[in-house]
Amino acid sequence: MPDDERARAEQKMKEIVEATRREFAQIRTGRANPALLDRITVEAYGDVYPINQLASISVPEARLLVIQPWDRKVLPNIERAILKSDLALTPVSDGSVLRITIPTLTEERRRDLVKIAKKVAEDMRVAVRNARREAIDALRAKQKNKEITEDDLKKGQEDIQKLTDKFIAEIDALLEAKEAEIMEV
């Protein structure tokens, strides 16, 4: 029985680590990364679409994103959506593709981005701890209902704590790598 809760907790924690990776990918560094544009939605064909469903995004150079829409008619809409976003990026259109040069970051902006990354990491650590709490509460409820023994409860709590430590260490490693990437000049 404790294995069910352990497996559920492990799955939740894996999802949290993946969410951390996605969040970190969207934090802008001095390098071009197609994930920067993941949150941008574009009005086209009477509906709203993510930018990656309307165009291919490539990185030909370290500081350059090239967006090539599959239909040239949506190029102005994509350009407008990027300008309206909070990314502070300015696309340059040549009629068939958009080019976005990623500006170098100032030292102050780098520190701000590190703070943002640390906040994301802390939020994700809290989410992992919440998953731990939920799993332990479920084990306690099972023990109270006499579905598992006290020894099973104790072993289950230890296993879940080891899982928690492992996934928090993963989040910390991701944060360390992101900080190094942001501070790299």
Which of 124, 116, 92, 128 lies closest to 26 in space, CA to CA? 116
What does the pLDDT average to over 102-120? Answer: 87
Do residues 77 and 42 make contact, with C-beta atoms less than 8 angstroms apart? yes
Enumerate the H helices of 1-106 as residue ranges.
Answer: 2-25, 75-84
Query: So what's the architecture of 2-26+106-183 in CATH?
Result: Orthogonal Bundle (1.10)
For residues 90-118, give the mean pLDDT.
Answer: 88
Of 28-32, 55-59, 136-140, 178-182, the one with minimum mean pLDDT is 28-32
pLDDT in tens, 85-102: 877 788 998 888 999 988
| Model pLDDT for residues 63-86, shown as the tens digit of each residue | 889 999 999 899 999 999 988 887
Predicted confidence at residue 42, as pLDDT, reads 92
Q: How confident is the model at residue 130 (pLDDT cuts 50, 70, 90)?
A: very high
CATH class of 34-101: alpha beta
* CA distance readout (Å), 59 to 62, 88, 91, 130: 7, 18, 14, 38
**Sequence-distant (≥ 6) Cβ neighbours of residue 180 within 8 angstroms:** none
Q: Position of tokens 């500006």?
A: 103
pLDDT reading at 30 higher than 80 = no
Domain boundaries defined on the chain: 2-26+106-183, 34-101
Judge if pTM exceeds 0.75: no
Q: Which two tokens stand for residue 6?
A: 């352990």
What pLDDT sits at residue 161? 95
Residue 63: predicted pLDDT: 85
Q: Which of 61-65, 117-121, 128-132 has the lowest mean pLDDT?
A: 61-65
Question: Which tops the pLDDT comparison, 102 or 124?
Answer: 124
pLDDT of residue 185: 63
